[in-house]
Amino acid sequence: MDEITGHKADENAVTKEEQWIQVGSNRQMQKTTEGWQLRVLWKNGTTTWEWLRNLKESNPVKVAEYAIAQGIAKEPAFAWWVPFVLRKRDRYISAVGTRYQKRTHKFGIEVPKTVMRAYEIDRETGTDFWAKAIEKEMLHVRPAFEVQDRGKSAPVGSKWIPCHMIYEVKMDFTRKARFVAGGHWTAPPLSLTYSSVVARDNVPYVFL
């Protein structure tokens, strides 16, 4: 699946008035996705309508993020499971980030956490491995940016997004740098199209 581009519900979908049911002495939400379909754009360029129950099982995080972006997360078909999936996602991301910050070396090679430290390692070891890795990565992402002069105001309608480099040592000891932009800082698109990663067009400006 490439992205989710739309949604619809038929007459079988549970309404908000029918959302809660009485089970013994307790009230609980109906756990059903009946009646809901999502329009999916596949990586081969084709588009199909798929039942929510199937996509919830195969791509729960992407579907949950789409529901939040489109303002339908409180609909009965989503409300009973979307918050749980997103909390689980956040715990996983937090755990991965913690492990990354704790890791200092791989294959006996120090893995930097900042650009400054990457250049310091090169100077200390008399090499340019990390510098070349950064240069290679920026060569690929540079066309997405318009560099502004220092002191110049940000263009109207632009949004500040945090960006950073992450580093890796591959099995052949090649150094790898990856430029990462905070896609979660961008507002949902105005169209129905949704993507869980930030597009290059959304990060067009960088200040020297």
Encode pLDDT of 47-89 as tens digits: 999 999 999 999 999 999 999 999 999 999 999 999 999 998 8
What is the C-alpha to C-alpha distance for residues 191 and 7, in angstroms, rounded to an integer? 12
- pLDDT confidence bin for 187, thresholds 50/70/90: low
- Sign of the four-CA dihedral 49, 61, 64, 193: negative
Encode pLDDT of 93-147 as tens digits: 777 666 666 778 888 899 998 999 999 999 999 999 999 999 999 998 888 887 8
Q: What is the pLDDT of residue 129?
A: 96
Q: Which residues of 26-60 are buried (b: 16+ CB within 10 A; e: fewer)?
A: eeeeeebbebbbbbbbeeeeeeeebebeebbeebb
Q: What is the pLDDT of residue 99?
A: 67
